[in-house]
C-alpha cells in the first residue's frame, strides 16, 4: 500500500483526530504558549483515544497500525499553530519511546512504555550536550558501574520534554576509552537524586519545555540499561531515520498550514480597492509556493512508503528532512511578508509559525549534516547499512 492510496479507515482516523484537535487542543494552545507549559491531561486524553501508541504492539496498549496512521498524525498535529506542542507529542511517540520498544527489557516496557502509550508518563530523549550536538561520539556524560548501579555525571541540553517529562532515554559513556563503542543508553527517572532540570528560554516552540539537564552522582539501576552496554551509538543511528522523517512531515505540514492561513487572509484583506488574492504578482508567488510544497510532499510520501516497508532509507530521509525544513523557513517567511505589518504582530499566528519553523533546520541533525550525509552517499559511494535487527 502506498501513501497516495489511503484507505477509508485512514481517512476516518484523520477526521476523528481533527475533531479531537478542534475540541481538546486548539482552545488551549494560546494559553500553553503563554505559560510555556502543556497541560499534562492532554497526554492522558490522547492516550485514551489510542493516539500515543499508533504503531506499538497491542500487548503494551498500542494499536499496531501501519505507518500511514502516523503520517496522518504528524500532519494533523502540525496544524495546531504550535510547533512546541507538536514536537512534544512527536518526541514521545517517535523519538524516545521507540528505543524502549526495540531494545528495552520486558520490565522496562511494562513499567515505562505502557504508561507512555496510555498517556500517564511523558518521555524524552537526552543526547545533545553543551559541547556535542550532531557529533554524538563526543558526548562527555559518563555512567560508571558500581555494583548494581551506574553512577552518572554530566549534562545535556536542548532536551524537549526535559523539564516536565518523567524520564529520559539518555546517551552516556559507559566506557569512555572505546569511542562510539563505549556509548550506552540508560533510562533515567527525572526524580532521581542528583538530577536537575532548568528550562531554556527560546525564540520559538514556546509551549514545549526545553531543558538543560544536570547529572551529579546520579545512581541508576543497572536494570535501566537499554539493550546491551556499548551498543547505544548503533541504537541511536538506527532511530534517526524515523526521527528525521517525522520531523520532515512536521515541517511540511506546518508549511501547508501557514500557506492556508495566509490564503484566508488574502481573501479578506484589501489594498488599493482590490483583494490581495487578485494581484497577479502575489498570485504567482503563491502559485510557486504551492508547486514547491506539492513536489516536496510527494517525495515525503515516498519516504513514508519506504518506512512502512521497513527500509533503512538514510539518503531519502536525509533529503526529506533537508528539503522540508528549508522549504518551511522560506515559505513561512514569504507568508509573513504577505501580512504586511500585521505579520510582525502577535495578533496573527503567522508570527508564531515564523519563529517555530526556524529550528527545523537544526533539530535531528542540521541542514549541513544532512548535506554531508547526502554527499557521502552520492560522491563517496558510502552505503549506510542498518546496525540493528528490525
Q: Give the residue with greater pLDDT, 121 vs 268.
A: 121
> What does the pLDDT average to over 337-346?
94
The set of residues, in sequence order, having a beta carbon less than 8 Å from that of 32 and lying 6+ positions away, is 38, 39, 82, 84, 85, 207
> Which residue's entry shows cell 576509552?
177
Return the pLDDT at 177. 87
Return the pLDDT at 3. 62
Tell me whether residue 243 is one of the annotated catalytic residues. yes
Task: Supply the CATH classification number for the domain 8-121.
Answer: 1.10.540.10
Work out the pLDDT band at 269, boundaries 50, 70, 90. confident
pLDDT tens figures, 229-259: 999 999 999 999 999 999 999 999 999 999 9
Q: Is the pLDDT of residue 6 over 60?
A: yes
- Residue in 75, 76, 129, 243 annotated catalytic: 243
Task: Identify the weakest region by mean pLDDT among 68-72, 197-201, 277-281.
Answer: 277-281
Q: What is the DSSP letter of 390?
A: -
Q: Is the pLDDT of residue 104 over 50?
A: yes
> What does the pLDDT average to over 11-33?
97
The CATH number of 125-229, from 1.10.10.10, 2.40.110.10, 3.60.15.10, 3.30.2270.10, is 2.40.110.10
pLDDT tens figures, 123-169: 999 999 998 877 788 899 999 999 999 999 999 999 999 999 999 99
Crossing angle, helix 367-378 and helix 314-338, to 10 degrees? 140
Backbone φ, ψ for residue 191 (5° rounding): -90, 5
Return the pLDDT at 389. 45
pTM: 0.94
Domain boundaries, the chain: 8-121, 125-229, 233-379
Backbone φ, ψ for residue 154 (5° rounding): 145, -165
pLDDT tens figures, 44-89: 999 999 999 999 999 999 999 999 999 999 999 999 999 999 999 9
| Domain covering 233-379 assigned CATH 1.20.140.10 in the classification | yes
User: Would you tell me how many other CB atoms lie within 10 Å of the CB of residue 163?
Assistant: 20
Grid coordinates belonging to 24: 481538546
> What does the pLDDT average to over 291-305?
97
Return the pLDDT at 2. 64
Q: Is the pLDDT of residue 390 over 60?
A: no
Average pLDDT, the chain: 94
Return the pLDDT at 275. 87
Q: Where does residue 111 rank: exposed (0-12), middle (13-18), buried (19+ CB within 10 A)? A: middle
Are 100 and 169 within 8 A, CB to CB? yes
% of residues, the chain, pLDDT over 90: 88
Grid coordinates belonging to 34: 503563554
Range list of β-strands (E), 222-253: 225-226
Return the pLDDT at 387. 63
Return the pLDDT at 372. 96
Amino acid at each position: 500500500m502506498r501513501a497516495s492510496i489511503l484507505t477509508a479507515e485512514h481517512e476516518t482516523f484523520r477526521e476523528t483526530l481533527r475533531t479531537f484537535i478542534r475540541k481538546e487542543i486548539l482552545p488551549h494552545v494560546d494559553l500553553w504558549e503563554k505559560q510555556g507549559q502543556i497541560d499534562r491531561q492532554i497526554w492522558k486524553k490522547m492516550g485514551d483515544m489510542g493516539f500515543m501508541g499508533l504503531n506499538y504492539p497491542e500487548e503494551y496498549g498500542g494499536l499496531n497500525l501501519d505507518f500511514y496512521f502516523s503520517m496522518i498524525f504528524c500532519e494533523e498535529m502540525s496544524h495546531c499553530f504550535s510547533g512546541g506542542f507538536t514536537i512534544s507529542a512527536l518526541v514521545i511517540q517517535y523519538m524516545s519511546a521507540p528505543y524502549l520498544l526495540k531494545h528495552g527489557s520486558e520490565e522496562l516496557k511494562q513499567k515505562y512504555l505502557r504508561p507512555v502509550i496510555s498517556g500517564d508518563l511523558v518521555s524524552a530523549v537526552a543526547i545533545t550536550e553543551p559541547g556535542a550536538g550532531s557529533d554524538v561520539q563526543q558526548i562527555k556524560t559518563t555512567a560508571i558501574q558500581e555494583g548494581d548501579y551506574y553512577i552518572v555525571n554530566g549534562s545535556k541540553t536542548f532536551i524537549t520534554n526535559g523539564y516536565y517529562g518523567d524520564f529520559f532515554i539518555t546517551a552516556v559513556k559507559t566506557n569512555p576509552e572505546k569511542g562510539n563503542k563505549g556509548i550506552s543508553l540508560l533510562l533515567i527517572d527525572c526524580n532521581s537524586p542528583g538530577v536537575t532540570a532548568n528550562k531554556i528560554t527560546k525564540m520559538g516552540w514556546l509551549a514545549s519545555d526545553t531543558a538543560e539537564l544536570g547529572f551529579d552522582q546520579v545512581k541508576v539501576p543497572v536494570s535501566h540499561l537499554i539493550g546491551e552496554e556499548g551498543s547505544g551509538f548503533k541504537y541511536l543511528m538506527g532511530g534517526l531515520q524515523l526521527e528525521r522523517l517525522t520531523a520532515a512531515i512536521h515541517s511540511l505540514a506546518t508549511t501547508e498550514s501557514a500557506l492556508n492561513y495566509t490564503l484566508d487572509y488574502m481573501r479578506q484583506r484589501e489594498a488599493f480597492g482590490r483583494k490581495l488574492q487578485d494581484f497577479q504578482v502575489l498570485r504567482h508567488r503563491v502559485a510557486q509556493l504551492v508547486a514547491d510544497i506539492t513536489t516536496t510532499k510527494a517525495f515525503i510520501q515516498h519516504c513514508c512508503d519506504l518506512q512502512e516497508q521497513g527500509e533503512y532509507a538514510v539518503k531519502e530521509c536525509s533529503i526529506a528532512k533537508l528539503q522540508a525544513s528549508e522549504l518551511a523557513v522560506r515559505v513561512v517567511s514569504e507568508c509573513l511578508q504577505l501580512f504586511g505589518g500585521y505579520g510582525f504582530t502577535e495578533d496573527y499566528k503567522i508570527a508564531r509559525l515564523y519563529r517555530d519553523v526556524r529550528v527545523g533546520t537544526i533539530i535531528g541533525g542540521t541542514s549541513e549534516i544532512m548535506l554531508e550525509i547526502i554527499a557521502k552517499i552520492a560522491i563517496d559511494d558510502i552505503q549506510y547499512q542498518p546496525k540493528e535487527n528490525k
